[in-house]
Amino acid sequence: MIDLHHAIVLGVLLFAVGLYGALRTTNAVRILMCIELMLNAVNLNFVSFARLAAVSGTAQAAVPGQVFAIFVMTVAAAEVAVGLAIILQIVRQRGVVHIDRINLLKG
């Protein structure tokens, strides 16, 4: 059967890959994608620990962790909508999608 540690290690590795991807690229769209990967890794851990609670307690104990994952999904959807709108706007106005060339606040 699946061990709790396997699921958590998978979450950690997915988060690490997403973090590395977000740090190494300068493409704003790709950074947003990698943030989604990290949020997915967090959800994976939420569900793993919820499952642990259900295995060691009653089946009802898994519900709060899964509800948290639902809220993470909601925030992710809102974040992508606003983030993509901002990126689209920057691409239209400045023709640039690379964060190292978007330096409006640079004194």
Partner 1 sequence: MSFLDGLAALAPTIGFFVLAVIILVSAWMVSHARRITHAAFFMVLVFTGVAGVFVLLGADFLAGGQVLVYVGAIAVMFLFAIMVSDLKEISDAETRARGAGTGSAAAGGTGTRKVWFVLAGLVTVGFAGLVLAALARSGLPAGAVGAAAGPGTTAPIARELFTTFLVPFELASVVLLVAMVGAIVLVAREREEEVE
Q: Taking CB under 8 A as the criterion, which residues in 77-96 touch partner 1?
A: 77-82, 84-89, 91-93, 95-96
CA-based nearest residue to 29, from 77, 97, 89, 79: 97
Q: Which is nearer to partner 1, 40 or 104 (CB)?
A: 40
Q: Among 57, 59, 105, 107, which residue interacts with partner 1 (rule: CB under 8 A)?
A: 59
Question: According to the binding rule CB under 8 A, does residue 57 interact with partner 1?
Answer: no
Cβ atoms within 10 Å of 74's Cβ, excluding its own: 10
* Shortest CB 39 distance to partner 1, Å: 9
Give the integer Cα–Cα distance in Å for 67 and 46: 9
Q: Which is nearer to partner 1, 32 or 106 (CB)?
A: 32
Give the integer Cα–Cα distance in Å for 14 and 44: 9
Question: According to the binding rule CB under 8 A, does residue 34 interact with partner 1?
Answer: yes
Contact indicator for 104, 93 with CB cutoff of 8 Å = no
Question: According to the binding rule CB under 8 A, does residue 106 interact with partner 1?
Answer: no
Contact indicator for 39, 101 with CB cutoff of 8 Å = no
Question: According to the binding rule CB under 8 A, does residue 48 interact with partner 1?
Answer: yes
